[in-house]
Chain A
Amino acid sequence: DTAVSQTPKYLVTQMGNDKSIKCEQNLGHDTMYWYKQDSKKFLKIMFSYNNKELIINETVPNRFSPKSPDKAHLNLHINSLELGDSAVYFCASSQGSPQYFGPGTRLLVL
């Protein structure tokens, strides 16, 4: 059973499109996160939700909008995709500490 899952695994799209990435966790955790791993493998937090409430919002362009319909799901919607959005996006969840990561979504913007 996969603890933290993401869909899709790969996403190739054109500049200017809008796309969504979904994340689900079955660990019963209260907190979920989105991280971006760039081409140099650097990992940076983007957002965090606790019980469906936004608690961390790093300096991310407002083209990125997270949505948490319930505490087991955290989706990431990206408007007007740009070349620089190409990266691997990781979802994570935790109940306190530590955090458990999903398999990642590899986004390529052409």
Chain B
Amino acid sequence: AQRVTQPEKLLSVFKGAPVELKCNYSYSGSPELFWYVQYSRQRLQLLLRHISRESIKGFTADLNKGETSFHLKKPFAQEEDSAMYYCALRAGGYNKLIFGAGTRLAVHP
């Protein structure tokens, strides 16, 4: 079964604290994983894709095939990071994206 699990609905931290948003996936093929971010009442924006192996806005994510995880990390959270974060799995030849339920990150001053 193809599935993306984000176990935390809400992650609440203080500014400057480290952040880790968890994502686990279930997929029999070779996975392609993404993190999308949705700021309040805005469109989803691509944040990271695992094949790029880059850091965007201080966020990084490493694909761990052994643990079937793609956790999103940032060493020092900023208030402007407050948003909804979705982990997504590209499944199948038709580029279908399967989304996790999302994690709301709230960064407090």
Contact with A along B38-64 (1 / 0, CB 8 A): 000011111001000000000000000
A50 interface hit (Cβ, 8 Å): yes
Q: Which of A56, A96, A100 contacts B46 (CB 8 A)?
A: A100
Q: Which of B43, B97, B98, B104 contacts A102 (CB 8 A)?
A: B43
Q: Which of A31, A40, A44, A98 contacts B34 (CB 8 A)?
A: A98
Asked, given contacts A43-B86, A45-B97, A50-B94, whether A98 binds B44 with beta carbons under 8 Å apart, the answer is no
Shortest Cβ distance from residue A46 to the other chain B in the assembled complex, whole angstroms? 11
CB closest residue in chain B, given A106? B41
B residues within 8 Å of A by Cβ? 32, 34, 36, 42-46, 49, 84, 86, 90, 94-99, 101-102, 104
> Chain A interface residue count: which class?
20 to 34
A12 interface hit (Cβ, 8 Å): no
**CB pair A56 B34 closer than 8 Å:** no
Q: Is the interface of A mostly helix, strand, loop or mixed?
A: strand
Can you list 19 A-B contacts (CB < 8 A)? A31-B95, A41-B104, A42-B102, A43-B86, A43-B99, A45-B97, A48-B95, A50-B94, A55-B94, A92-B44, A97-B95, A98-B34, A99-B95, A101-B36, A101-B45, A102-B43, A103-B42, A103-B43, A104-B43
A94 interface hit (Cβ, 8 Å): yes
B46: which A residues are within 8 A, CB to CB? 98-100
Contact with B along A34-78 (1 / 0, CB 8 A): 000000111111001010000110000000000000000000000
CB closest residue in chain B, given A104? B43
**CB pair A48 B94 closer than 8 Å:** yes
**CB pair A43 B102 closer than 8 Å:** yes
CB within 8 Å of B: which A3-43 residues: 4, 31, 33, 40-43
Q: Which of A40, A41, A90, A94 contacts B43 (CB 8 A)?
A: A90
Shortest Cβ distance from residue A66 to the other chain B in the assembled complex, whole angstroms? 14
A31: which B residues are within 8 A, CB to CB? 95
Assembly CA distance A62 to B86 (angstroms): 28
Known interface pairs A56-B94, A96-B95; 12 further A-B residue pairs with C-beta atoms within 8 A, sorted by A's residue number: A41-B84, A42-B101, A45-B97, A50-B94, A56-B96, A90-B44, A92-B44, A97-B90, A98-B34, A98-B49, A100-B46, A102-B43
